[in-house]
Structure 1
Amino acid sequence: MTKESDLIKKAPDGTYGFRASLGFDKRTGKRRQKRCSGFKTKTLAKEAYRKLVAQFEDEQFNSPITFKEFCDKYFFPWYKFTVQEQTYEHRKGMVERSFNQFDSMKLSKITAFDVQKWQLGYLEDHANGTTRVAHTMLGKIFERAILMSLMKENPAKIVGNVKRSQDEVEFWTKDQFQKVIEQTSKDTYTHRFDFIILWFLFMTGMRSGEAKALTWKDVDLKAGTIDINKSLLYKSVNNYKLGKTKNRQSMRVISIDQQTIDYLEEWYEDQRLMTRSKFVLSQDGAPLNSTYINDIVHDYGNLAKVPTVTAHALRHSHASLLISLGENPLVIRDRLGHKDVRTTLEIYGHLYPKSDIEASKRLEGLVTVPSE
């Protein structure tokens, strides 16, 4: 941060002046600056600088702009260019649903008390993990407002986020998935489609958007590999887009087991008899809509009388299966396309068995001590 004394400059004629940065213009969004000069002494220049900044803060931090107006005019237009399109659409919808109580409030008047009240109310109707995501997003909005000199402090940061709960990750165990698969059937084309979706997502751990964007060109059945290189942003059957994956690490090639290869070969032949589709998970040539996978996960879960989970839980289920098989976290990171292994351990670390006793046994006798 620039010191106040460094802002005061001496002119060739012996007088003093300064250039003050006054945040952003509320109407244009451009940075505001003001130059003042001609002060006989440095002290007078400092006093003028302080008075100008104080006057600006009084005006700026009492801005009548509301939370909703700030989000619509300033935050969303900026945020749209910082994340992938599917992330933007998801987060924008979440903000519009989650923060209604702030919409008409003046942005500068929102306090830590208001955020605390929201957080407690939100927790009553939402899971711990969902609340964490919403709170993080609220904090991001306030941080942008601070940068634009519309708020002095971040009330979401003052309150603090809710702690991560170890039981946040929902998934089906291998035995539970076995019960689900036993409820599937291959007697009709639709039933075979439902089976391949459930099996494929459980056995690959792909994100829903990645799986829906997968084309047959991305699948090498001879080599037993899948090239994950895009994601699907779906709005309607005639309005969808194939975009980038969540991050650079999400672009990956994974191997699949022989059983999954066999089932994909069967599905390829079944699909060709009904339609010519470039998409692997397609029943009629069009990509899957946003709710189909969630619906079949819910329906078959109910038939199997196992815990109700979401489509994303099949990704967690795959990770928990690998952990139960003793797989290394680095392998799981690469297979799931996590940004780093810390992400993997933060989400799934509590699922790893406690191995302190086994470690101590391996240490025993490892170093030989010479006899006396």
Structure 2
Amino acid sequence: MSKDPIKKAKNGTYYFRANLGYDSKGKKIQKYRSGFKTKKEAREEYSKLILMNPEDLSDTKDKMMFEHYILDIFLPWYKTRVKLRTYDNRLPTVKKHFPYFYKLAVDDIEPIHVQNWQLKLSKKLKPSYVRAVQGLFSVAMDRAIVLGITATNPSKIIGNVKKQKTKIEFWTKEEFEKVISFIYKKDYYQHFLFVSLWFLFMTGMRIGEATAIQWEDVDFDSGVLTINKNLYYKNQTNYRFVEPKTKASVRHIVLDKCTLNVLTEWKNVQQSLIKTDFVMSYNGIPTQKHTLAYAIERYAKLAGIHRIRIHGLRHSHASLLISMGENPLIIKDRLGHEDIETTLGTYGHLYPNSNFEVANKLNGIISFKETKQNYDSSPKNQFTVDYLGKQKQKVQ
């Protein structure tokens, strides 16, 4: 028994995709129809198309609405192409900004529509965010081309907004010291916050990597921390381990003795109250980033230090290593970057005095005794003969 071609969309309307054979040129004929209020209306339209001649069908223009395409065709496909965490993060963006085009058919979206949308977004949003939103829209339009729903991608014709260098926010060692000095470790919850901020600052881990760390990942004998997973956290009852961001994200970090002592002390306190495998946990389940973001805001204000985002602690670690004169390759491996270009592209500007330091190191490094005799008997260069003559005249 064949499947019913009439499908119900998420907004309650009905749609179908009809395969209607081939036209006189051998081109496959496919027709999309959507926006039917009832299943009966959709089936009547489907039946009309089935009975039409191929010549008439080839002249019938498809009008798939953008809303139907995004919600019922693109998003289900996109969910299979990216990590679940990525999909969940981008879904709100789609639902918030893509409705601008919902009243248009996919094939009717023109460059002027995209340009007006881009300008509207740019009035209130950061260029980096606008680039991300339009980039996702462009992916959707590219997929529509592959499916034969439209012929061009108007987003690529317009082009994205100009990329701007993002300012890296971080805390210096002194700023971090001021912030954690306001955390009262004798309070169990504050002790947890102290350890969490310390752990992130001293390792440069991504928040998803850090919240996934288990006690078994810390080898207290060798001092080696193993990073081989991320944590997908949706809520207190829905979280799980997922694959790392990239292959380079799987790595080993050697921890300093102070950090090992901080972790040892925390493990004793934590395990005396709760039983959990998670290092960054005060209640038996992994912490969520909002908890730490709020803590950063609160204690930064108490210390009179500018607020940074959680990812800023990763930048702070990189900045600390740079200030210590560490090799970029070491920083690359410690942060889990795939290539050195990523490291230098992100943190290269934090080396403002590198050229001066190099010049100071080169100064006086060459030692030689200047000759008082000409040992070169080769023919003179025509441009230097006159110069040597003038030099002799000055001596006389």
User: C-alpha separation between the residues in 2 aligned to 1:320 and 1:243?
Assistant: 28
Q: Does 1:114 align with 2:131?
A: no
One-letter code of the match for 2:275? R
Where in structure 2 are there 5+ consecutive unaligned residues? 1-23, 34-53, 375-396
- Aligned residue number for residue 72 of structure 2: 73
List aligned pairs for 1:180-219, cutoff 5 A: 180-219=179-218
User: 1:243, CA displacement in angstroms?
Assistant: 1.0
- Aligned residue number for residue 48 of structure 2: none
User: Structure 1 residues 155, 193: CA separation in 2 closer, same or farther (over 3 Å shift)?
Assistant: same
One-letter code of the match for 2:168? V
- Aligned residue number for residue 320 of structure 2: 321
- Aligned residue number for residue 35 of structure 1: none
Paired residue secondary structure (2:252)? strand
Quick one: higher RCO (CA 8 Å, sep 6+), 1 or 2?
1
User: C-alpha separation between the residues in 1 aligned to 2:100 and 2:196?
Assistant: 39
One-letter code of the match for 1:339? E
User: Structure 1 residues 139, 168: CA separation in 2 closer, same or farther (over 3 Å shift)?
Assistant: farther
List aligned pairs for 1:42-81, cutoff 5 A: 63-81=62-80
One-letter code of the match for 1:143? D
- Aligned residue number for residue 259 of structure 1: 258
User: C-alpha separation between the residues in 2 aligned to 1:308 and 1:102?
Assistant: 37
User: 1:318, CA displacement in angstroms?
Assistant: 1.5
User: C-alpha separation between the residues in 1 aligned to 2:94 and 2:223?
Assistant: 41
User: Structure 1 residues 266, 25: CA separation in 2 closer, same or farther (over 3 Å shift)?
Assistant: farther
Contact (CA 8 Å) 2:32, 2:63: kept in 1 or not?
Answer: no
- Aligned residue number for residue 300 of structure 2: 301
Contact (CA 8 Å) 2:207, 2:310: kept in 1 or not?
Answer: yes
User: Structure 1 residues 131, 330: CA separation in 2 closer, same or farther (over 3 Å shift)?
Assistant: farther
User: Structure 1 residues 272, 129: CA separation in 2 closer, same or farther (over 3 Å shift)?
Assistant: same
The structure whose Rg is larger is 2
Paired residue secondary structure (2:233)? strand
User: 1:104, CA displacement in angstroms?
Assistant: 3.2
Deviates more, 1:267-276 or 1:108-117: 108-117
Paired residue secondary structure (1:291)? helix
One-letter code of the match for 2:205? M
One-letter code of the match for 1:272? Q
Q: Does 1:286 align with 2:282?
A: no
Deviates more, 1:126-135 or 1:352-361: 352-361
One-letter code of the match for 1:340? D
Deviates more, 1:108-117 or 1:192-201: 108-117
Contact (CA 8 Å) 2:74, 2:143: kept in 1 or not?
Answer: yes
User: Structure 1 residues 370, 100: CA separation in 2 closer, same or farther (over 3 Å shift)?
Assistant: farther
User: C-alpha separation between the residues in 1 aligned to 2:193 and 2:365?
Assistant: 54
Q: Does 1:311 align with 2:310?
A: yes
User: 1:211, CA displacement in angstroms?
Assistant: 0.9
User: C-alpha separation between the residues in 2 aligned to 1:105 and 1:347?
Assistant: 40
User: Structure 1 residues 370, 141: CA separation in 2 closer, same or farther (over 3 Å shift)?
Assistant: farther
User: C-alpha separation between the residues in 2 aligned to 1:365 and 1:188?
Assistant: 56
TM-score normalized by structure 1? 0.78
Paired residue secondary structure (2:295)? helix
User: C-alpha separation between the residues in 2 aligned to 1:186 and 1:366?
Assistant: 54
- Aligned residue number for residue 3 of structure 1: none
- Aligned residue number for residue 102 of structure 1: 101
Paired residue secondary structure (2:300)? helix
User: Structure 1 residues 302, 130: CA separation in 2 closer, same or farther (over 3 Å shift)?
Assistant: farther
Paired residue secondary structure (1:176)? helix
TM-score normalized by structure 2? 0.74
What is the RMSD computed on CA atoms of the aligned residues?
Answer: 3.0
Contact (CA 8 Å) 1:176, 1:306: kept in 2 or not?
Answer: yes
Aligned length: 328
- Aligned residue number for residue 228 of structure 1: 227
User: Structure 1 residues 126, 169: CA separation in 2 closer, same or farther (over 3 Å shift)?
Assistant: farther
- Aligned residue number for residue 377 of structure 2: none
User: 1:106, CA displacement in angstroms?
Assistant: 2.0
Paired residue secondary structure (2:123)? helix
User: 1:212, CA displacement in angstroms?
Assistant: 1.0
Q: Deviations over 1:183-239 (max 9, x none)?
A: 211121001011111111111111111111111111112211111111111112111
Contact (CA 8 Å) 2:212, 2:241: kept in 1 or not?
Answer: yes
One-letter code of the match for 1:225? V
One-letter code of the match for 1:216? W
User: Structure 1 residues 261, 147: CA separation in 2 closer, same or farther (over 3 Å shift)?
Assistant: same
Contact (CA 8 Å) 2:205, 2:314: kept in 1 or not?
Answer: yes
Q: Deviations over 1:320-360 (max 9, x none)?
A: 22222222222222111122222222322222225445556
- Aligned residue number for residue 36 of structure 1: none
Contact (CA 8 Å) 1:166, 1:350: kept in 2 or not?
Answer: no
One-letter code of the match for 2:291? Y
User: C-alpha separation between the residues in 2 aligned to 1:105 and 1:116?
Assistant: 15
Q: Does 1:247 align with 2:235?
A: no
